[in-house]
């Protein structure tokens, strides 16, 4: 009985070992891929163009607010108390409005970046799937990995696949 179990264990390890050797594995460095993709570079330009007017307006509003604060500090000793209180109230409201606009702008930019990134991730996954099927890969990894041999790094091939799919 012991011989049968040993033989069975040995046979299964040989079978599994030969199967593991036949497995074709690839790795894609997504960070490197994203930094070189023309889609990302163009999206960055588009996002900057879309949000730059709001950023510039916010900067101008901030400068105007700072000038108003400086003017108030300079003149507050000569102001009537009621006028000073009213100006402080206006300044507080302006500051809150600036903070709100700044927060909304950051949120809008982040949302746009996420939507662009999501679309590009879909393209990357499609390119990886197409490449994997064409080249008969069993596994392609693209999360953080401690070490990857150059032999299984297919980042350049996927980059080419993405560029071809854009045309």
Distance CA 144, CA 23 (A): 20
In a domain, 142, yes or no: yes
| Burial bucket for residue 33 (CB in 10 Å: 0-12, 13-18, 19+) | buried
| pLDDT of amino acid 167 | 64
| pLDDT of amino acid 157 | 87
Range of the domain at 147: 25-166
pLDDT per position as a tens digit, 81-133 = 999 999 999 999 999 999 999 999 999 999 999 999 999 999 999 999 999 99
In a domain, 141, yes or no: yes
In a domain, 95, yes or no: yes
Domain total for the chain? 1
pLDDT per position as a tens digit, 44-77 = 999 999 999 999 999 999 999 999 999 999 998 9
């Amino acid at each position: 009985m012991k011989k049968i179990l040993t033989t069975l264990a040995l046979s299964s390890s040989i079978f599994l070992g030969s199967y593991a050797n036949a497995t074709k594995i690839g790795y894609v460095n997504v960070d490197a891929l994203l930094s070189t993709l023309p889609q990302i570079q163009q999206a960055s330009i588009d996002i900057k163009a879309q949000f730059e007017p709001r950023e510039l307006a916010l900067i101008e509003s901030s400068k105007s607010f700072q000038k108003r604060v400086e003017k108030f500090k300079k003149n507050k000793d000569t102001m009537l108390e009621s006028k000073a209180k009213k100006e402080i109230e206006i300044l507080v409201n302006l500051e809150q409005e600036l903070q709100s606009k700044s927060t909304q702008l950051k949120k809008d930019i982040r949302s746009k970046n996420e939507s662009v990134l999501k679309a590009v991730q879909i393209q990357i996954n499609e390119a990886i799937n197409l490449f994997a099927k064409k080249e008969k890969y069993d596994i392609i990894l693209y999360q953080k990995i401690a070490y990857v041999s150059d032999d299984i790094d297919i980042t350049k091939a996927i980059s080419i696949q993405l560029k071809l799919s854009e045309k």
